Amino acid sequence: MTSAASEQDTGDQAEWRAISSGAQSNIEEATQTVIRDPQAWAEWWQSHNTTVEVIDGEESAPAPPEVDFSEETVLVATMGTRNTGGYSIAFTGIRRDGETLVATYKTESPDPDGFVTMALTAPYAIIAVPRHEGPVEFAKEEG
C-alpha cells in the first residue's frame, strides 16, 4: 500500500491504495461510502459501473476490482452528476483519530470561464485501506 496523506493531517497517518477513479459513475448523488464485505462491494460496483460487456451474447457489468476484505476496507467518495466536465474528486489523506478512521478528500470544479467538455459527468474515487471495523469519517478539504 502507498501512503498518500497530506502534510496538513494530524494524528496517526494510515496507508491506502487507489482502486479506481474517474469522471463516469452511475451514482447520481454525492456520497461517501464504507464497504466491508465482498457482497456489498459487488452490489456497489454494479450500481456504479457504466461499462457493459457482452459475453456469449449477454450483457453484464465487468467484475469489480479484487479486494481482500479480510485485509482491507473500501472507501468511496462521489460527487454526483455534474452538467459538464472539469470536475474531479480525490482522496488526499487517511489518518486515525483514536478508534475513528478519518478519510480526507478534495473536490475540484472547473474555472467558470474555462473550456470544459459539454457532457454529463459523475466523478468518483475509490481506495482500499487496511481493514477497519470502527467508525469512519469523511472530511472534505476546503480550497
- pLDDT at site 49: 87
pTM of the model: 0.85
Could you give the CA distance from residue 77 to residue 89 in angstroms, rounded to a whole number?
A: 7
pLDDT for 35 beyond 80? yes
Q: Please provide the average confidence, as pLDDT, over all residues in the chain.
A: 89
- pLDDT at site 9: 40
Burial of 53 (0-12, 13-18, 19+ CB in 10 A): exposed
- How many residues are recorded in the chain? 143
Where does residue 48 fall: left (phi above 0), alpha (psi -120 to 50 degrees), or beta otherwise?
alpha
Could you give the CA distance from residue 115 to residue 131 in angstroms, rounded to a whole number?
A: 41
pLDDT in tens, 108-120: 999 988 899 899 9
Residues 77 and 91: beta-carbon distance below 8 Å: yes
- pLDDT at site 84: 94
- pLDDT at site 128: 98
Q: Which of 24-28, 37-41, 52-56, 94-98 has the lowest mean pLDDT?
A: 52-56
Domain boundaries, the chain: 12-140
